[in-house]
Chains A and B, each alone.
Chain A
Amino acid sequence: MNNSSILNSKIFKPLLISALFLLLCVKSTLSFSQEKAAEASEKPFDPKEVVFEHIGDSHSLHVLGETVIPLPIILYTDKGLEIFSSERLGLHHEEGHEPVVYKGEHYSYKLEGNKVLAVNEAGEVDKDAKVYDFSITRNVASMWMGMIILLIVFSSITSSYKKRAGKAPKGLQALLEPVIIFVRDDVAIPNIGVKYVKYMPLLLTIFFFILINNLLGLVPFFPGGFNLTGNIAVTLVLSVIVLIVINFSGNKYYWKHIFTPDIPLWLYPIMVPVEIIGIISKPFALMIRLFANITAGHIIVLSLISLIFIFKTAWMATVSVPFVVFMDCIELLVAFLQAFIFTMLTSLFIGMAVEEHHH
């Protein structure tokens, strides 16, 4: 039996995949242990801090171990624009330490949690200063990485479509073509109907944007390990886009259904407000669903890993790691499922708005 037959055997592939998963989990465990090794001796391990540090945003990009990339901080204050590196505010902000104060052009700044606050001479928070934070945070950076991956992948696919026009798909093209066809034939066409063509770019972009960021979020080290699609700001933007698209494509039947439904007149005071709330609540549900699903998954995985540090024994890993592997598998499913559900419901709502009624 030679090597190639081992590689090709059916048992080997699942084994390889699970081994990879295990490796990923152990790696994240290791980086945690390095980070927390010094701290553990001083004070009790706080899983909440670790979990929320991951779930939330940050002004620096954690690569691996002690390697941290500072990110630019962009502030719009009432006195003007401020741009500086987050290194100036200290990369390792730890509790108990006095936060580093950076004196900028207009104000002095310090970091409190993830918030950049303006401080006065005495080092106290300046309530009068208006500071809007437009920094390239960890989530923005990860979103751009996801976008770059999408652009590279799809430009290569596009070129192979042009090169192999009329031929059978191959390679990456063959991998993603069924997904594109799935979005078109099983998501867009059954829900929207004949007018689906106009909405295909939006639906495909939403689907692949959510999918790539969900998947990147599952990778425990650089260039992943973010919680972008589990961030309320991101899901808010996506659902607001959906809200705008739904209401701008709504035809007269859609608006008639909201403002003058076919019901007795005395029901109008109840029904019309309910319908108007419905306009908002549909995208709102999309926003909460994606946010809660992804965040919950990340919290569970991190909590399971944290168990090792709570119990302060490596033996706990024998329990935690299999559970984390299991959760990662579920999260992999959830990553696809949530991208699918978001796109599915978006097309369903668009379909309801563009539907022609024949009374």
Chain B
Amino acid sequence: MELVTPNLGLVVWTTISFAILLFLLGKFAWKPILGALNDRERFIEDSLSKAEAAKEEMSRLTSENESLLKQARAERDQILTEARKVKEQMIADAKELAHKEGARMIELARVEINNQKSIAMADVKNQVATLSLEIAEKVLRKQFEDQQKQDDLVSQLLKEVKL
């Protein structure tokens, strides 16, 4: 029976001691420890959410970069296409111009040649005419050295003239 009869002295000492222990530990141990634990947990949670946000930001940036890259690539392609077009245009233009120029020059040359040719021809004609006249003169001179022949011709010519 003594075992289950609480001893008054021990009850009093336990009450006092436990109250002191509760006060001391509560004030100097549990409060700072639980505070530190809470702080750390909040810090870890914060860090995790920050990391999550950073990850999202990262993926956003990456996708942005990608779209920028795509855009840049498209722009480059466009520029290249345009440049090619311009180049072709220029080549075509140049060709055409050269063609035209060539044609013009050929035309000019032809005209010149024609001119020269006609000049030359005229010259030749003149010379031919002069030569023929000279030859004719010389032939006639030779022909008409005797009088008889002259009279014959006159008479023949006279016969031919029909009035």
* Contact code string B79-121 (vs A, CB < 8 Å = 1, else 0): 0000000000000000000000000000000000000000000
In-complex Cβ contact of B29 among A143, A154, A237 (8 A) = A154
A251 interface residue, CB < 8 Å from B?
no
What class of interface size applies to chain A in its complex with B?
Answer: 35 or more
Q: Are B3 and A52 in contact (CB under 8 A)?
A: yes
B147 interface residue, CB < 8 Å from A?
no
Asked, given contacts A57-B7, A201-B26, whether A157 binds B2 with beta carbons under 8 Å apart, the answer is no
Q: Are B6 and A151 in contact (CB under 8 A)?
A: no
B contact face: mostly helix, strand, loop, or mixed = helix
A68 interface residue, CB < 8 Å from B?
no
Return chain B residues, CB-CB under 8 Å to A307: none
Q: Are B28 and A162 in contact (CB under 8 A)?
A: no
Asked, given contacts A209-B21, A295-B3, whether A133 binds B11 with beta carbons under 8 Å apart, the answer is no
Chain A: residues with CB nearer than 8 A to chain B?
52, 55-57, 74, 113, 132-137, 139-140, 143-144, 147, 150-151, 154-155, 157-158, 161-162, 165-166, 177, 180-181, 184, 197, 200-202, 204-205, 208-209, 231-234, 236-238, 241, 291, 295
18 A-B residue pairs with Cβ-Cβ distance under 8 Å, sorted by A, are A57-B10, A132-B9, A134-B12, A137-B10, A143-B13, A151-B21, A154-B25, A154-B33, A158-B29, A158-B33, A177-B37, A180-B33, A180-B37, A204-B25, A231-B7, A233-B6, A237-B14, A291-B4
Question: Lowest 10 A-B CB distances belong to which pairs?
Answer: A201-B26, A154-B29, A233-B6, A233-B10, A161-B36, A237-B14, A134-B9, A140-B13, A201-B30, A233-B11
Chain B: residues with CB nearer than 8 A to chain A?
2-15, 17-18, 20-22, 24-26, 28-34, 36-37, 39-40, 43
